[in-house]
Amino acid sequence: MNPVLYKFHVRDLLDVDEDYIWNLNRGKMELTFDDSEVVIADVCDVQISWYYWALAEAYRDLQITRKLFLDGRTFTDDLHRKMMFEAISPTIGNPDFDKEDVWLLSYRDIYNRIYNAVVTRLVEYIGSTTSLDALELMCDEEISAANNAVTDDLGTIDHAYETISSVVRRKYHRNPIVRAIVNKTVKEPQILQSIGPRGRITDIDSVIFRKPIKRGFAMGFRDIIAFAKESRSAAKALLFNKDPVAIAEYFNRKLQLVCNTITKLHKGDCGTKQYQQMTIPEGKEGDQMLGGLAGLFMLDGDRLVEIKEDMQHLRGKTISLRTTLCCKHLRNQGVCETCYGMTSYGIPYDSNPGHISCTSLCKEISQLIISTKHLDFIVHKFLVLLRGNDATYLRVIPGQNEFLYLSEKVKPDHVVLRILADEAKNLVQVKYITDVNNIEVTNLSSLSTAEFYVRDASSGLIDGVTLDMVRSSTKASLSIDLLKHLQVTGWETVNNWLYINLANWEHDKPLFVYPLKHESMAEFGKRVEVFIRSTTKSDGDDDELADVHASSNAAKLTSYNDADRALYDGYRLISSKIKGIHIGHIATILAASRVTSARQGDWFIPNDLFNGEFKSHDEIIRHRSLSVQMLYGWQQQTYNDLSCYLQHKRPYNPMDGLIYIPPQS
Ligand SMILES: [Zn+2]
């Protein structure tokens, strides 16, 4: 039994100074909380928890309970954030506390002081890692067996990663590297690439090398090919740190110019009766979405309740949601705290909620572009699955995840494959290329559908089946083998269709391939920009975006009439790469992108969820307050543009004060 060195009530410790706390002897202490709960505590836990009681020192009515106590838990970033929230949560929504005072106290007296204490007073406890720690993990029987079994087959790499991830947690929780993973001070994928195989690598043009690097950083690379491939990661980081960051930040700026039209945050609830309908998916995706919805309000019977991250019973249900898009204040360029959600607590008085929403989104995009070297971690599990009618003509071979083969039940001699000419515009190139092995298959074809027919005796085509060729939003391409086949047999073009005769086709050759192309964060950022700003090529400003616009059928807000669908799709697009983006911010950005009626020259934001239209941001800038256009660009064109003088219903903009308009005499 450890002797109890001290007996304290938490209130006794409030008035002592920092040195007193740190001069206590290490050992056990009997500690009584405000709610009379008594615990036997480690003095060390008390020394750290003590900082979180600073608010109770300033506001004597606040209670200090066991929630504000470390209680043997490992002190991590996450736990720090949780305890900060516990400390301030009794003050949220309570009129006796001014939120900006609470923030000042929590930053000055909790955050700063605990940071200083941790880095200066705990120096003797700082750990380090050595190569022996890595060796300990690599020499583990299960891990080395999984590493030795790695081949070019991506399944074996995934297996190695899964093995490492589970073995280290099960057997080696004292290993400093494992502690760093568990406490999230390093990202797990980075450790997996060291202890396990490096895996697949993306080139600077986003093409993924077909063969992975089978050794990891800790094992060391042994051949020049691996070094050459790995060098691409650094090349990519260099490439992405310049222009793409500038482009992403410029997008941020352009977005602010439109979103800052929502200028005010109104106290309380506007009382709107309009709600957005949002269906939360089942399973893990549903959990992720709940994270994005947390803090917004939904209708439960006739009451509004705050959505919490852990409301898993909402998965699979459609909820009636309050967002900025519903708010009655929109027409007057404001949004109420209830429609904006709990995020409104975190916004300083008099700040512009539209501006805050777009910087919250864009900072994530910029950050991800900068950290691209570390985070471009390719998920190997691209698996082509057969659906519906697919199996009539197609089959998959285990381990050949990116290929589709002709079904062995089909006799190829009478089979005709029909594809859209538009989806294979450059196919004619195969006639002039000697070695198709070096060809980039996506340049020749990119198929959304393929049709199979059987040619009967009278030479008519029967038994047609249309197959959807899009998997995980990737289009299929004709395989190298099929291109070689076409070099010999050619094809027939009739109207908008290409007919490919599969006579003499061998079953062991793949027909279609899903090209291994990895979308970089920079490309992703552009796609988000095209979606939100609904950029059109004719506006001429965004040359970089023209590619995205032309190459993919990137979705745009202006193609949506329904704000619910626009919000859902916008969230899906953004959350495909950015985890934890708040749906309330997306809704605010969408709200600013709507106008009441362009035809009637009313460019105010509608305060009606069901009437109003999305407009491209370039049009919005031109037809709302012109100070923004004058600061943005194309001043001369705007000056000469007649339509600019015909709009009378224009909202003001915070930038208006920057433009001086002389009084008319
Ligand atoms: Zn409202």
Distance 82 CA to ligand 1 centre (A): 29
Write the CA distances from 394 to 376, 441, 503, 516, 595, integer angstroms. 32, 20, 16, 20, 48
Distance 339 CA to ligand 1 centre (A): 4
Measure the CA–CA gap between 109 and 117, rounded to whole angstroms.
12
Distance 595 CA to ligand 1 centre (A): 17
- Split at pLDDT 50, 70, 90, the class of 552 is very low
Measure the CA–CA gap between 330 and 183, rounded to whole angstroms.
43
pLDDT higher than 90, residue 457: no
Question: Could you tell me the two tokens for 509?
Answer: 């050759």
- Split at pLDDT 50, 70, 90, the class of 2 is low
Looking at residue 517, its pLDDT comes to 64
> Which position has the higher pLDDT, 283 or 656?
656
Q: Read off the pLDDT of residues 421-455 as tens digits, 9 standing for 90 and up.
A: 888 888 888 888 777 777 778 778 888 888 998 88
Q: Which CATH class is domain 131-240?
A: mainly alpha
Measure the CA–CA gap between 423 and 37, rounded to whole angstroms.
71
Distance 301 CA to ligand 1 centre (A): 19
151 CB-near residues (< 8 Å, 6+ apart): 214
Distance 263 CA to ligand 1 centre (A): 14
pLDDT higher than 60, residue 375: no
Distance 258 CA to ligand 1 centre (A): 20
Question: Could you tell me the two tokens for 257?
Answer: 């110019």
Measure the CA–CA gap between 519 and 473, rounded to whole angstroms.
11
Q: Rounded to the nearest 5°, which phi and psi values hold at 312?
A: -70, -15
Measure the CA–CA gap between 205 and 202, rounded to whole angstroms.
8
What b/e string do you get for 583-596 counting C-beta neighbours within 10 Å, with b at 16 or more?
bbbbbbbbbbbbbb
**Dihedral angle sign, alpha carbons of residues 529, 530, 534, 538:** positive
- Residue positions counted in the chain: 665
Distance 338 CA to ligand 1 centre (A): 6
Give percent above pLDDT 70 in the chain: 92
The domain locations on the chain are: 4-125, 131-240, 248-372+523-656, 390-513
Distance 312 CA to ligand 1 centre (A): 26
DSSP label at 520?
A: -
Distance 337 CA to ligand 1 centre (A): 7
Spatial strand order in the sheet of 4-9: 4-9, 28-32, 38-42
Distance 360 CA to ligand 1 centre (A): 20
Residue whose token pair is 């051949």: 223
Distance 608 CA to ligand 1 centre (A): 11
pLDDT higher than 70, residue 60: yes
Distance 476 CA to ligand 1 centre (A): 46
pLDDT higher than 60, residue 134: yes
Distance 322 CA to ligand 1 centre (A): 8
Distance 462 CA to ligand 1 centre (A): 59
Distance 266 CA to ligand 1 centre (A): 8
Q: Read off the pLDDT of residues 387-430 as tens digits, 9 standing for 90 and up.
A: 677 788 888 887 677 788 998 888 888 889 999 888 888 888 88
Q: Read off the pLDDT of residues 609-648 as tens digits, 9 standing for 90 and up.
A: 999 999 999 999 989 988 888 888 888 888 888 888 888 8
Distance 571 CA to ligand 1 centre (A): 21
Dump the DSSP string for 598-649.
TTTTB-SPPS-SSS-EE--HHHHHHHS-HHHHHHHS-HHHHHH-THHHH--B
Are 54 and 104 in contact by the 8 Å Cβ rule? The answer is: no
Distance 136 CA to ligand 1 centre (A): 58
Distance 273 CA to ligand 1 centre (A): 9
Distance 58 CA to ligand 1 centre (A): 34
